[in-house]
Structure formats: C-alpha cells, structure tokens
C-alpha cells in the first residue's frame, strides 16, 4: 500500500524540474498524496503548471508570494474549499539579494537582512499558522535548510543567518503545534545544483568540496531528498518533530 495514501498536501517552492520541492513532491505524489502547488509571479506559472499537470489536469496551482499575507490567506482558503483538510506542507523557499551572497557578511545591508529573513524564515511561521487549522487529523510540515545555519560557509552569508532562524522557528513551531499532532521538521540538504544554488558565489566549488570531504565521497541526489521528505511525511516519522535531518552524505559530522 502507498505510504501516504489519501493524504493531502501543499508544496511551496517548485520553480522548475531541478527544484528540491519537485523531487519531494514527486515522492509524495507517487506514494498516494494529492497535492496543490504554488508559484511566485506569472513568470513561473507555466513551469509549475506543466510539472504539476503530470499529476492530472485538475491539480490545484495557486499564486503565492510568501511575503504577502493576503496571498497566503487566499491560498489556504482555496485549499480548504478544494481539499477540506490538509496533512502535509512543504516549505522549500529561500531568497536573498544577490549582492548579499558574495563578498563579506559584515557588509549585509539592513534591507538585504530583512528580505532574506522575511522570505526564507518568517514565511514558515506564516504558512504554519495558516495551515494548522486545516490539519485537523494532525500533519507534517517540512522545511529545507542548509549547514550554513550552524557553521560559516563562505559566501552563504545572510542566508546562513536566515537558515538559523528557520531551524529555530521549526523548534518553536514544533512545540506550539505538537498538541495538535502537527510535526515540524527541517531537512538540511547538501548542495544540489538548482536555480537558487547557482545564485551563491562559488557554488561549483562547494560541490567539489563535498565530494572530496563528505564521508560518502559524493554529492547527494534530489531523489534522496524526495525519500527523506516522504519519510518525514509518513507514519514512520510519527514521533519525530522539531528536528533537523541531515541529507548531506555525512558532511555535517566532520570536524576537519
């Protein structure tokens, strides 16, 4: 029997077929979940519609810029009308102005700091708050993080600080929503060649570094993120909440 048969979910952060969100969405759909997708701005609508359309022409696709409260409210209103209840939510969204992802962190502007935290961390709080009333049978919320949250990764800069806020938010949300049987976890992924990743100066070097230094001596595959996303969505993870799960070929355990 499929692992998450009959569950409903919403996926934030598919930009194209390389997106981590797409890898997790495919795993969720394959194991029986009915999914809705969001896109930011008309620019990406066609991409998302084409990908999501592979799950059926009636797949729900909605606009959502996560910095806009009215768009978040509209998304969850439509999801409630269409699905009734919600079991799964994937937060796979991050953004920082490009000039903040090169050079020195000390030069991060107030505005770049604000935008990075609004889009990449606060959005999880806003989405969890809107989703919780629909998760009447409990639920699983999964967000994507990176090791730059806890150690200095050159060029990752303000995004590392925003990921630290995301991971801390995960723990506080897990505490608040636990009594409603809603679990909130992060997957901390090793580098994957996506649109967002290519915005980080020196990203190709990062891939080489992981291959050389991670215990498994290789980079991760998107489908491995799909498998972990599926695990966190399933009853196999029923007692796991507030955690950061590393899918990074073991890189995080290394001291040198």
Q: Which residues bind ligand NAP (CB under 6 A)?
A: 13-15, 19-21, 40-41, 44, 64-67, 92-95, 119, 144-146, 189, 191-192, 194-197
Contact status, residue 198 vs residue 18, Cβ threshold 8 Å: no
**What SS3 class is residue 169?**
helix
**What SS3 class is residue 126?**
helix
Residue 8 β-bridge partners: 34
- Closer to ligand NAP by CB, 85 or 117: give it: 117
Supply the minimum distance, in Å, between the C-beta of residue 5 and ligand NAP: 26
Of the candidates 124, 174, 172, 117, the residue with the CA atom closest to the CA atom of residue 144: 124
Supply the minimum distance, in Å, between the C-beta of residue 101 and ligand NAP: 11
- Closer to ligand NAP by CB, 120 or 241: give it: 120
- Closer to ligand NAP by CB, 214 or 235: give it: 214
Q: Give me the catalytic one of 39, 147, 156, 246.
A: 156
The pair of three-digit structure tokens given for residue 143, joined into one six-digit string: 């967000």
Q: Is 172 a catalytic residue?
A: no
Contact status, residue 162 vs residue 111, Cβ threshold 8 Å: no
Q: Is 156 a catalytic residue?
A: yes
DSSP 184: E
Contact status, residue 12 vs residue 28, Cβ threshold 8 Å: no
Residues 6+ apart with CB under 8 A from 149: 160, 163, 164, 166, 167, 188, 244
Supply the minimum distance, in Å, between the C-beta of residue 57 and ligand NAP: 22
Supply the minimum distance, in Å, between the C-beta of residue 127 and ligand NAP: 10
- Closer to ligand NAP by CB, 4 or 75: give it: 75
What are the residue numbers of the active site? Answer: 146, 156
């Amino acid at each position: 029997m499929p692992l998450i048969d009959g569950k409903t979910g919403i996926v934030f952060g598919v930009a194209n077929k390389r997106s981590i969100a797409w890898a997790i969405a495919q795993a969720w759909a394959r194991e029986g979940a009915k999914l809705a997708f969001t896109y930011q701005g008309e620019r990406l609508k066609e991409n998302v519609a084409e990908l999501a359309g592979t799950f059926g022409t009636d797949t729900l696709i909605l606009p959502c810029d996560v910095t806009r409260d009215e768009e978040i409210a509209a998304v969850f209103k439509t999801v409630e009308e269409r699905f009734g209840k919600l079991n799964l939510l994937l937060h796979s969204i991050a953004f920082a102005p490009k000039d903040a992802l090169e050079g020195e962190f000390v030069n991060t502007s107030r505005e770049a700091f604000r935008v990075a935290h609004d889009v990449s961390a606060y959005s999880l709080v806003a989405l969890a708050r809107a989703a919780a009333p629909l998760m009447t049978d409990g639920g699983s919320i999964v967000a994507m993080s990176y090791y730059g949250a806890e150690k200095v990764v050159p060029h990752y800069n303000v995004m590392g600080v925003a990921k630290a806020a995301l991971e801390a938010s995960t723990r506080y949300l897990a505490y608040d929503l636990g009594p409603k049987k809603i679990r909130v976890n992060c997957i901390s992924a090793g580098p994957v060649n996506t649109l967002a990743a290519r915005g980080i100066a020196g990203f190709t070097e990062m891939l080489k570094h992981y291959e050389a230094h991670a215990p498994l001596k290789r980079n991760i595959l998107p489908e491995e993120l799909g498998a972990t996303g599926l695990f966190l969505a399933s009853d196999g993870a029923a007692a796991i909440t507030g955690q950061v799960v590393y899918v990074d070929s073991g890189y995080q355990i290394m001291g040198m």
